[in-house]
Chains A and B, each alone.
Chain A
């Protein structure tokens, strides 16, 4: 770990049992609180009323195409690496109505959808996902036409980050420069020890939230222990990408035989894109009322691995898995540099864990770019 969190001064100690006070404070400020819970055998971000709902004592086991949870029986609340989703579904909704239309005689009457933007506070966001949110911010808000729904939800977001003290075998945020410590984009950052958290504010809102809890300074020993644990989570990572900017190497290898090889294993299921915290592709669809007098126009997450993604007037631009996998990887690790000033990969490793056949982005990138990298 090269740097400490943004506001390293005035670190305080928040005992495990004090976390409910932070949630109470956030609720009193009007936030709906989200945090990690165990659901459907995985850790997911859900509305939580009390920290008791967090995955206390849980550990995760992640490998290529493998995810499992185990209860270690201790008091630690965040001793696992990320589950299948970060905050993406809460800011960029998997399905969202854009507008309604109704027939009025021969005319059509259009009405934009109401935007549900109740302020959210999220507890337990990791550094990779904070980096991903910064990228999605740039995509949805940074252009000439910022997306109103994303803007409304993002504007109200309060972030309690958790610095990783536990890296999964599929994690590689150190190599992308995005972790394991949260560096920016949070209101409060927590590092978990056995009995509680070393907490630091990253914003004025965060300072107010911590100040109201009447916490004692963390003290040098706890700060050092926290630092050590985060550093250990970094050095435990075994995977890495072959470079931060692979754009030139990928473009020089559009005809590399590896694309064909990976296509032989890839099912084109799109899991990698759905669990990816930066993938933003979505389609627009229409649902007509049963009487046929009105319709709802909505957007829904889509994947560049789907059949219709590159379909134009009777022509399938990317008809095979080879071209779809190549599209995903060359965009994610290449084209994003031009579009967003950095790679689209934050090293969360989800695409490796949740690939049903265990395709590893770091291996594929190395195989394709290896030949072009001196």
Chain B
């Protein structure tokens, strides 16, 4: 919608109120808020990989990817790590409290291009959140996609979230779930080490595979290198990037990444779009 916040059809900078109708503590410091916009009876349509700006009264807005199912028409789930002024405050809110919401924004994952292909999803840390809707999208249309591989890495074992989801996805036909922690613990039955250590266990046909990466840049650099070496074409690798975002409208300049605005050109990019500077430290 031109010049408008899609949630309320009003000024594009201005959020709309949204009620917290559910809250899940995912791990120490990570929580999910389930939001219902106050103004609209139905949540706006969004695509996997898109994000909303979530506003905390008196403090400000942060970009948070939408975790919920794109098919759901009334509720929007956002998984948030308690790490800054806004997220610390959001962590203290409870069902019944109100936040502000603008969105959805950004270019999400290339679901149409992924159709008919094997899909590899490689995530690190909270990078798993922006891919949950991809996984649900594929599972809801299981016959339309090839083999699905889900690879998630965390620094410490106790930081793994969505454990129930991973267990459930393990049972989906033609789906592999591989988990890794740099530091394991007594209740960590999976790989101890890097996500890229697990790539040899993946089953895919490189010429008809699409890879979706989201997580710390160092992890993505290593994953891109491995996937290219395995024979994936550059244009079959997609990365979700993260930069400071304040407007989400391509105006404020904070998410500048090379010649791209992450908020409007991305956050999901095909690797060739970023190749000239991807991995350059401090860029």
Q: Which residues of A contact B (CB under 8 A)?
A: 98-99, 101, 103, 106-112, 139-140, 143-148, 247, 251, 254-255, 279-286, 288, 292, 295, 297, 299, 302, 304, 308-314, 317-320, 322-323, 326-327, 330-331, 334-339
Query: When A309-B254, A318-B282 are in contact, do A145 and B3 touch as well, CB less than 8 Å?
Result: yes
| B243: A residues at CB distance < 8 A | 310, 312, 317
Q: Which of B37-63 contact A (CB under 8 A)?
A: 38, 55, 57-61
Q: In whole angstroms, how far apart are the Cα atoms of A145 and B282 in the complex?
A: 29
Tell me whether A145 and B12 are in contact (CB under 8 A): yes
A sample of 21 cross-chain residue pairs with beta-carbon separation below 8 angstroms, ordered by A number, consists of A99-B11, A99-B15, A106-B96, A106-B97, A107-B38, A108-B17, A110-B15, A112-B10, A145-B2, A148-B12, A282-B246, A282-B251, A284-B247, A286-B59, A309-B254, A314-B83, A314-B84, A320-B282, A327-B256, A330-B258, A335-B259
Closest A residue to B53 by CB, please name it.
Answer: A284
Contact assessment for B97 and A103 in the assembled complex, using a CB-CB cutoff below 8 Å? no
Residues on A with C-beta less than 8 A from B19 are: 107
Given A143-B264, A310-B254, A317-B282: A334 in contact with B11 (beta carbons within 8 A): no
Contact A323 B57 (CB under 8 A): no
Q: Is the CB of B253 within 8 A of A103?
A: no
Closest-CB distance, A372 to chain B (whole angstroms): 13
Q: Which residues of B contact A327 (CB under 8 A)?
A: 256, 283
Asked whether B100 is an interface residue with its Cβ less than 8 Å from the other chain, the reply is yes
Selected contact of A313 from candidates B2, B10, B81, B264, CB within 8 Å: B81
Within the complex, the shortest CB–CB distance from A154 to chain B, in Å, comes to 14
CA distance A247 to B276 in the complex (A): 11
Does residue B277 face the partner (Cβ distance < 8 Å to A)? yes
- A323 contacts B283, CB within 8 Å? yes
Query: Would you call B16 an interface residue if the criterion is a C-beta within 8 Å of the partner chain's C-beta atoms?
Result: yes
B16: chain A residues at CB < 8 Å are 110
Q: Contacts of A308 on B, CB cut-off 8 Å? A: 244
B131 to chain A, nearest CB (A): 18
Q: Which residue of B lies closest to A140 (CB)?
A: B251
Q: Are A112 and B11 interface neighbours, CB within 8 A?
A: yes
Contact indicator B100/A101 (Cβ below 8 Å): yes
How far apart are the CA atoms of A98 and B12 in the complex, in Å?
10
Chain A residues with CB under 8 Å of B242's CB are 312
Residues from chain B with a CB closer than 8 A to the CB of A338 are: 259-260
Q: Tell me the bound Cα distance from A334 to B277 in angstroms.
A: 12
User: Can you list, as one digit per residue, whether each of B180-207 has a CB less than 8 Å from chain A (1) or not (0)?
Assistant: 0000000000000000000000000000
A110 to B10, CA, bound (A): 10
Interface string of B6-48 (1 = CB under 8 A from A): 0000111111110100000000000000000010000000000
B252 and A283 form a contact (CB under 8 A): yes
Q: Is the CB of A322 within 8 A of B282?
A: yes
Q: B259 and A334: CB pair below 8 A?
A: yes
State in angstroms the CA–CA spacing of A280 and B254 once bound together: 10
Residues in B265-283 with C-beta less than 8 Å from chain A: 276-277, 280-283
- Inter-chain CA distance A107–B98, complex, in Å, is 5
Pick from A146, A288, A335: contact of B256, CB below 8 A: A335
**Known interface pairs A304-B253, A334-B259. Does A312 touch B3 (Cβ–Cβ under 8 Å)?**
no
- Give the distance in Å from the alpha carbon of A36 to the alpha carbon of B81 in the complex: 50
A286 contact set on B, CB distance < 8 A: 58-60
Question: Out of B38, B244, B283, which one reaches A326, CB within 8 Å?
Answer: B283
Give the nearest-CB partner of A111 in chain B.
B14
**Complex CA–CA separation, A19 to B166 (angstroms):** 75
> B254: which A residues are within 8 A, CB to CB?
281, 283, 302, 309-310
A254, B277: Cβ atoms closer than 8 Å:
yes
Point out the residue from B2, B17, B244, B246 that lies within 8 Å of A109, measured CB to CB: B17
Q: Is B128 an interface residue (CB 8 A)?
A: no
- CB-defined contacts of B2 to chain A, threshold 8 Å: 144-146
Q: How far is the CB of A185 from chain B (nearest CB, A)?
A: 21
Across the A-B interface, the 3 shortest Cβ-Cβ residue pairs = A323-B282, A281-B253, A112-B11
Interface residues of B in 225-263 (CB under 8 A from A): 242-244, 246-247, 249-254, 256, 258-261
Q: List chain B residues, Cβ under 8 A from A148.
A: 3, 11-13
Query: B14 contacts A112, CB within 8 Å?
Result: yes
Residues of B within 8 A of A326 (CB): 282-283
Chain A, Cβ-Cβ closest to B273? A338
Q: Is B121 an interface residue (CB 8 A)?
A: no
Residue-wise, chain B 152-189 has the 8 Å CB interface mask toward A (1 for contact) of 00000000000000000000000000000000000000
Query: Is B67 part of the contact surface with A, judged by Cβ < 8 Å?
Result: no
Kindly list chain A residues whose C-beta atoms are within 8 Å of the C-beta of B281: 323
Is the pair A110, B17 in contact by a Cβ cutoff of 8 Å?
A: yes
Q: Are A145 and B250 in contact (CB under 8 A)?
A: yes
